[in-house]
């Protein structure tokens, strides 16, 4: 691993600002928090060798008291997450649409911090559970912090924030026995879904492979809500924000996701952390969909309804910049855990709409952050804006800033009326003066009432493989539901979207087929942009598990390595024990994993070389790796003994399985192409 600090980009001001707060213990004497040097940190002060311990031991008291307070409440949703620093670069000025400073100039770079998360699991949950993933970005702009707090799915379960606690209570482990952890395959979740038709479209999304991503690096991000962009002239456009991963959108398959939970419960954070350490910086392009104010009612869905997406075929996506994550945190608690992301943090040039779900969020985030992190959470290094904040907020628990001066009020004479408000034409934030009219009511807007068209649009857009995975996911999830009526009610909801799907699920989970009378959506349109089959396929950063033993074929390995390096593939050498192996040319390589510490689940492809002295055990373990890779549709290559072993179990010539006893350049190229394809669904 290389030292990532050498790669810190100059322009990353936020990182430079954070450095002021770093405390490096290396090579320093140990002290108390009051900076008194400590002579003994292992023995409590006691009266005599075997006597009672003394309360006056301030060193012991400080150590234990601090330890006793180490945990803070975890987030009540999105508790498990992982973050990284980076930079956002604007492609071209968006001044025709927005005054937002970070979008004014081509090439302008803005420091960012991103936290990826899973919704349901607690802080210790395994990371490959089926769940929506959070994708939350803090932009530290020159004109204040802008947070884009999104998910990896473009729509949401509910239309009004008042239902959020119900959704989350249904989704979290059931309160009587706290089972199951971090997943939706249980009665209360499906009871909620079956009882809330507005969740139908989101139900389809969460049953797709989107909820078991391959990596945080291969996930889209969506702001979900409709925001406003406002330009200098005060003209407003409605806007949706999207993040598009440069590596394409890729997922695990269910069998892998379940097993990786055991093989590596930290799968996603490890993947992100390791890739950033290696300099494989994840990149995402920011896209916007924009519609004019006068087009607000031009669509057959309400643009303020968060259970609806804007099909890209109707409203195209415009790429406006790129984010590169280029530095891991120094301390997960101080940065990732204490970061406070809030959709209410907007800057000049961006504003809210009346989307009722967005409005609900505007209250909830800061409210929970005051409770979870404390009154002065905005002064914590990770949350501070680039430029110091100036106002008359004072005091509160754990205030970090020492506010100078006599005056803490506005208006004033004693401090020449400072800090002073800044008018709109001088850079102050002004709210977009949208028209508000109507009576106070508690009701869902009639324009929010079509709950099935977009679920059907999503279903129509899926490839056959994606459809079969959705059926499998429903069969698993509802198969875990104990109450047959809850299963049946969920199946009836599916019938509104696709009757054949509902009938198949009903068969799988042992409930009656849904009544014929349930009207099925008649939408015939599809949106190719929604299918993961239409994404980008690349080889860079994919891992190849290479099974190899003593006296491996040095020349063949050299050629294979050259072709992998060119494609950006990363070999992981797996053998029977750690240490070095010698090849036929007297060269050597260092083993990365053993059959015990490694796992075929963790590699995107497998390349079997083996060696002439491989034992029966070695051969047996290799077979297991091959079979798992095969069952997960992943590419397999084999040369020398490897080719022989693959042939022995009759897998040669199956789709994506390549063997050769005399490998040529063409063979290595074919293996790289197979890696680029990633999965061979036609096996």
Residues assigned a catalytic role: 78, 151
Report how many residues bind ligand HDE under the rule CB under 6 A: 25
Binding of ligand HDE by 149 (CB under 6 A): yes
Query: Which 274-313 positions form the footprint of ligand HDE (CB under 6 A)?
Result: 306
Residues with Cβ within 8 Å of residue 613, at least 6 apart in sequence: 549, 550, 551
Contact segment (CB under 6 A) with ligand HDE among 249-257, 270-278, 360-368, 375-383 equals 360-368
Beta-carbon count within 10 A of 102 CB: 25
For residues 288 and 651, which CB has a smaller minimum distance to ligand HDE in the complex?
Answer: 288
- Nearest-approach distance from CB 360 to ligand HDE, in angstroms: 3
- For ligand HDE, give the closer residue by CB, 369 or 453: 369
Asked if 349 is part of the footprint of ligand HDE (rule: CB under 6 A), the reply reads: no
Applying the rule CB under 6 A, the residues between 179 and 238 that interact with ligand HDE are: 224
How far, in Å, CA of 23 to CA of 334, rounded?
12
CA distance 630 to 650: 12
Cis peptide before 411 (omega within 30 of 0): yes
Q: Which of 368, 594, 623, 673 binds ligand HDE (CB under 6 A)?
A: 368
Q: Which residue number places its CB atom closest to ligand HDE?
A: 134
**DSSP string for residues in 558-607:** HHHHHHHHHHT-EEEEEESSSEEEEBTTS-EEEE-EETTT--GGG-SEEE
Nearer residue to ligand HDE within complex by CB, 213 or 598: 213
Sheet holding 657-660: strands in order across? 593-594, 570-575, 543-548, 605-610, 636-639, 657-660
Residue 361 lies near ligand HDE (rule: CB under 6 A): yes
Which segments are annotated as binding site for heme? 75, 115, 164, 361, 365, 372
For ligand HDE, the closer CB: 150 or 583: 150
- Which candidate, 683, 674, 533, places its Cα nearest to that of 604? 674
Q: Say if residues 670 and 657 touch (Cβ distance below 8 Å).
A: no
Estimate to the nearest angstrom the gap between the alpha carbon of 263 and the chain centroid: 20
Query: Nearest 5 degrees, angle CA 316-CA 322-CA 327?
Result: 150
CB 151, min distance to ligand HDE, A: 4
Determine if 150 is a binding residue for ligand HDE (CB under 6 A): yes
- Both tokens of 225, joined, read 């809500």
Please report, for residues 105, 202, 231, 252, 294, the alpha-carbon distance to residue 234 in angstroms, rounded to integers and kept in the order given. 19, 35, 5, 45, 15
Q: Which is nearer to ligand HDE, 303 or 505 (CB)?
A: 303
Looking at the DSSP bridge assignments, the partners of residue 46 are 53
**Cβ 181 to ligand HDE shortest distance, Å:** 18
Q: State yes or no: residue 341 binds ligand HDE (CB under 6 A).
A: yes
Listed ranges 144-152, 227-235, 296-304, 394-402: which one lies at the site for ligand HDE (CB under 6 A): 144-152
Pairing of strands 133-141, 109-118: antiparallel
Q: Could you tell me which of 107, 103, 22, 2 has the C-alpha nearest to residue 326?
A: 2
Per DSSP, the three-state class of 616 is: helix
Rule CB under 6 A: choose which of 12, 117, 137, 226 binds ligand HDE: 117
Contact between residue 208 and residue 254 where contact means Cβ atoms under 8 Å apart:
no
What's the distance, Cα to Cα, between the start and end of the chain in Å?
37
Nearest approach, Cβ of residue 50 and ligand HDE (Å): 49
Site string for ligand HDE, 29-48 (x = CB under 6 A): --------------------
Q: Does 369 bind ligand HDE (CB under 6 A)?
A: yes
Interface region with ligand HDE, contact rule CB under 6 A, candidates 364-372, 420-428, 433-441, 626-634: 364-372
Which of 80, 115, 214, 240 binds ligand HDE (CB under 6 A)? It is 115
Q: Smaller CB distance to ligand HDE: residue 204 or 544? A: 204
Reduced to 3 states (helix: H, G, I; strand: E, B; else coil), residue 28 is: coil
161: contact with ligand HDE by CB under 6 A? yes
State yes or no: residue 365 binds ligand HDE (CB under 6 A): yes
Q: Within positions 69 to 88, which residues make up the interface with ligand HDE, using CB under 6 A?
A: 75-78, 81
Based on CB atoms, which residue is closest to ligand HDE, 345 or 498?
345
Q: Shortest gap between Cβ of 189 and ligand HDE (angstroms)?
A: 16
Binding site per annotation, positions: 75, 115, 164, 361, 365, 372
Concatenating the DSSP letter of every residue in 207-270 gives: TSGGGSBS-GGG--EE--S-EEEE-TT--EEEEEEEEEETT---B--HHHHHHHHHH-TTHHHH
134 binds ligand HDE (CB under 6 A): yes
Residue 354: CB minimum distance to ligand HDE, A: 13
Q: Output the CA torsion sign for 541, 544, 550, 552.
A: negative
Q: Is 164 in the site for ligand HDE (CB under 6 A)?
A: yes
CA dist., res. 659 & res. 667, Å (int):
8
Report the C-alpha gap between 484 and 106 in whole angstroms: 58
Instruction: State the minimum distance, in angstroms, from the CB of residue 82 to ligand HDE.
Output: 9
Distance of closest approach, residue 363 Cβ to ligand HDE, in angstroms? 8
Nearest residue (CB) to ligand HDE, 156 versus 564: 156
Token pair of 142 as six digits: 């020159």
Q: Shortest approach of ligand HDE to residue 117 CB, angstroms?
A: 5
What is residue 361's three-state secondary structure?
A: helix
Q: Rounded CA gap, 559 and 562, in Å?
A: 5
Task: Closer to ligand HDE by CB, 105 or 166: give it.
Answer: 166
User: For residue 167, with 0-12 CB atoms within 10 Å meaning exposed, 13-18 middle and 19 or more buried, which class applies?
Assistant: buried
Any contact of residue 551 with ligand HDE (CB under 6 A)?
no
Residue 136 interacts with ligand HDE (CB under 6 A): yes or no: yes
Q: Which residues of this chain interact with ligand HDE, rule CB under 6 A?
A: 75-78, 81, 115, 117, 134, 136, 149-151, 156, 161, 164, 224, 306, 341, 357, 360-361, 364-365, 368-369
């Amino acid at each position: 691993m290389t030292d990532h600090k050498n790669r810190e980009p100059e322009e990353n001001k936020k990182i430079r600002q954070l450095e002021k707060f770093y405390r490096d213990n290396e090579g320093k004497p140990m002290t108390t928090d009051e900076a008194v040097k400590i002579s003994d940190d292992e023995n409590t002060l006691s009266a005599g060798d075997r006597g009672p311990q003394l309360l006056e031991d301030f060193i012991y008291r400080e150590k234990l008291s601090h330890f006793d307070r180490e945990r803070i409440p975890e987030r009540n949703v999105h508790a498990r997450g992982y973050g990284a620093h980076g930079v956002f670069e604007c492609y071209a000025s968006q001044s025709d649409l927005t005054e937002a400073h970070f979008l004014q100039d081509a090439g302008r770079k803005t420091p960012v911090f991103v936290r990826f998360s899973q919704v349901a699991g607690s802080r210790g949950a395994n990371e490959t559970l089926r769940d929506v993933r959070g994708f939350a970005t803090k932009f530290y702009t020159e004109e204040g912090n802008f947070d884009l707090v999104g998910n990896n799915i473009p729509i949401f379960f509910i239309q009004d924030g008042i239902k959020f606690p119900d959704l989350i209570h249904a989704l979290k482990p059931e309160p009587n026995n706290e089972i199951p952890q971090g997943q939706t395959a249980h009665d209360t979740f499906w009871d909620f879904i079956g009882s809330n038709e507005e969740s139908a479209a989101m139900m389809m999304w969460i049953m797709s492979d989107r909820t078991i991503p391959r990596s945080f690096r291969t996930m889209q991000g969506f702001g979900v809500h409709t925001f406003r962009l406002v330009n200098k002239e005060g003209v407003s456009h409605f806007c949706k924000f999207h993040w598009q991963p440069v590596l394409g959108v890729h997922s695990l398959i269910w069998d892998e996701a379940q097993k990786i939970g055991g093989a590596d419960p930290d799968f996603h954070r490890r993947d992100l952390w390791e890739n950033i350490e290696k300099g494989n910086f994840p990149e995402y392009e920011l896209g916007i969909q924009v519609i004019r104010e006068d087009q607000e009612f031009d669509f057959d869905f309400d643009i303020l309804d968060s259970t609806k997406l804007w099909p890209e075929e109707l409203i195209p996506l415009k790429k406006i910049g790129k984010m590169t994550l280029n530095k891991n945190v120094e301390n997960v608690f101080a940065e990732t855990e204490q970061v406070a992301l809030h959709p209410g943090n907007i800057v000049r040039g961006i504003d809210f709409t009346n989307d009722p779900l967005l409005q609900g969020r505007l209250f909830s985030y800061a409210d929970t952050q005051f409770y979870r992190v404390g009154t002065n959470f905005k002064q914590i290094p990770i949350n501070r804006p680039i430029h110091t904040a100036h106002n008359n907020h004072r005091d509160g628990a754990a205030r970090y800033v020492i506010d100078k001066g006599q005056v803490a009020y506005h208006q004033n004479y004693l401090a020449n009326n400072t800090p002073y408000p800044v008018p709109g034409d001088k850079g102050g934030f002004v709210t977009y003066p949208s028209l508000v009219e109507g009576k106070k009511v508690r009701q869902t807007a009639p324009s929010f009432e079509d709950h099935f068209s977009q679920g059907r649009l999503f279903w129509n857009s899926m490839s056959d493989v994606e459809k079969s995975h959705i059926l499998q996911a429903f069969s698993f999830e509802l198969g875990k539901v104990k109450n047959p009526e809850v299963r049946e009610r969920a199946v009836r909801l599916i019938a509104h979207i696709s009757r054949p799907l509902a009938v198949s699920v009903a068969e799988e989970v042992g409930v009656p087929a849904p009544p014929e009378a349930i009207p099925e959506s008649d939408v015939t349109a599809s949106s190719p942009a929604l299918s993961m089959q239409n994404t980008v396929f690349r080889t860079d950063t994919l891992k190849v598990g290479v099974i190899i033993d003593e006296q491996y074929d040095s020349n063949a390995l050299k050629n294979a390595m050259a072709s992998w390096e060119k494609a950006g593939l990363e070999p992981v050498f797996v053998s029977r024990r750690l240490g070095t192996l010698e090849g036929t040319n007297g060269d050597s390589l260092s083993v990365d994993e053993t059959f015990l510490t490694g796992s075929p689940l963790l590699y995107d492809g497998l390349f079997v070389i083996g060696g002439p002295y491989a034992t029966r055990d070695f051969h047996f373990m290799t077979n297991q790796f091959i079979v798992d890779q095969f069952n997960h549709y992943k590419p397999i290559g084999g040369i020398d003994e490897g080719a022989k072993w693959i042939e022995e179990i009759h897998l040669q010539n199956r789709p994506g399985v390549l063997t050769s006893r005399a490998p040529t350049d063409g063979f290595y190229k074919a293996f790289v192409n197979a890696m680029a394809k990633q999965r061979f669904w036609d096996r």
